[in-house]
Amino acid sequence: MPEQTTLPPVAAHGARRLPSVDVDSYNVELKDSEGFIGDRVSRGAFRRMLERIRKSLRKAGEDPLGDEDSDELTKAELDELLLRGEPEAAGLVHAAIEDFSQEFALIIQRFLKLKEWKDTERIAVGGGFRASRVGELVTGRTMVILKSEDIDIKLAPIHNHPDEAGLIGAVHLAPSWMFQAFDALLAVDIGGTNIRAGVVRLNRKGSRDPSKAKVWKFSLWRHGDEEGVKRDQAITQLGAMLNGLISAAEKKRLKLAPFIGIGCPGFIEEDGSIDRGAQNLPGNWESSRFNLPVALHDMIPAIGEHETSIVLHNDAVVQGLSEIPFMQEVAHWGVLTIGTGLGNARFTNRDAVNDQK
């Protein structure tokens, strides 16, 4: 990989001011005496809660979920237990949902006490955990708990599937004028388990409104399933995925914008380096000698006849940006993404800022 160099982006990496919103806060790492509180509401945390309840049942008699390891139970299997499982097995999953929701409610209250999260009116809940009935019930139960504590805030699952929200949100990273002559753009969502790259169709029909954007095609690599994946290997694989999508778009005669929007864990510096928060990715992504936009630009220097512009931002920010069309009636809103960790971002709609002036 090359030494870090700065490329002139069409918008600043990790920008706090975007075309439609101001990013008030993101990648907050709240701690208490036990460590990062976000670790208590991750995908792994739910499995640990489930296992803790099962362990107590085994001591008292029989585990209704049998011998299968809690970490091996898929989201689909847990959803099936809720819908059609034996009453005791379903009740066990509900008990884990209750424990998780209580913890989630406490953590949300911690966020709402932050200066940057003051006056938050709505929170979208995303991440891979949201893509299940268990995740939806956690969202609903958490909102009930907060209401019972007289905390007036609405929680709702993100509207787009989590596999697509982190790609669709990339549309909002660049100024709308850039896409007037193009049909689609490339987007990347990098996570602790998966790397996803896709082609997002703008569906503008001459309008500058990006709210109709949809994922046309995407590629997925589950790097978390492989042993010993190195950072350079991950970047090479991502470049191959993007080049494959470029070829597919050309065959479909989609005119791609010379732009790649990327969501990645961590705090993103203006030059595209990652300051902290990328510890779940394969290899050292926080090295001062590594710059993801530069590395990708070396592999994809141009799209069509134009030089490639690349903008990198935090993955929770990008996933949250996909909610912009559904947050127009509120001024201040946030997103919490439950996956390998707890991603977070808080936004203020730019129209609301202008109205206050």
Q: What is the pLDDT of residues 134-179, one digit of tens each?
A: 999 999 999 999 999 999 999 999 999 988 999 999 999 977 777 7
Question: For a pLDDT cut of 70, what percent of the chain falls above it?
Answer: 93
Residue 227, judged by CB atoms within 10 A of its CB (0-12, 13-18, 19+), counts as exposed
Question: DSSP readout, 266-284?
Answer: SEEPTTS-EEE--TTSSS-
Give the distance from CA 7 to its chain's centroid: 25
C-alpha dihedral, 84 to 86 to 87 to 88, nearest 10°: -140
Residue 49 included in any domain = no
Residue 20 included in any domain = yes
- Phi, psi of 264, rounded to the nearest 5 degrees: -145, 140
Question: Whole-model pTM?
Answer: 0.91
Question: For a pLDDT cut of 90, what percent of the chain falls above it?
Answer: 72
Q: What is the pLDDT of residue 2?
A: 46
Which whole number is the average pLDDT over 17-30? 93
Instruction: Lay out the sheet containing 154-157: strands in order across.
Output: 21-26, 342-349, 332-338, 122-126, 154-157
Residue 90 included in any domain = no
Q: What is the pLDDT of residue 4?
A: 47
Which whole number is the average pLDDT over 90-110? 96
For 140, the domain range is: 1-31+101-357
Which whole number is the average pLDDT over 272-276? 91
Residue 47 included in any domain = no
Which whole number is the average pLDDT over 181-189? 93
Give the distance from CA 236 to its chain's centroid: 22
Amino acid at 253: R
Question: DSSP readout, 120-143?
Answer: --EEEEESGGGSSHHHHHHHHHHH
Q: How many residues does the chain have?
A: 357
Residue in the structure block whose two tokens are 């042993």: 227
Residue 253 included in any domain = yes
Give the distance from CA 39 to its chain's centroid: 16
Residue 22 included in any domain = yes
Q: Specify the CATH number for the domain of residue 7.
A: 3.30.420.40
What total number of domains does the chain contain? 1
- Phi, psi of 182, rounded to the nearest 5 degrees: -130, 155
Residue 46 included in any domain = no
CA distance 295 to 301: 10
CA distance 357 to 296: 40
Residue 137 included in any domain = yes
Q: Answer whether residue 336 shows pLDDT above 50.
A: yes
Q: Answer whether residue 205 shows pLDDT above 80.
A: no
Q: What is the pLDDT of residue 21?
A: 94
Q: What is the pLDDT of residue 142?
A: 97
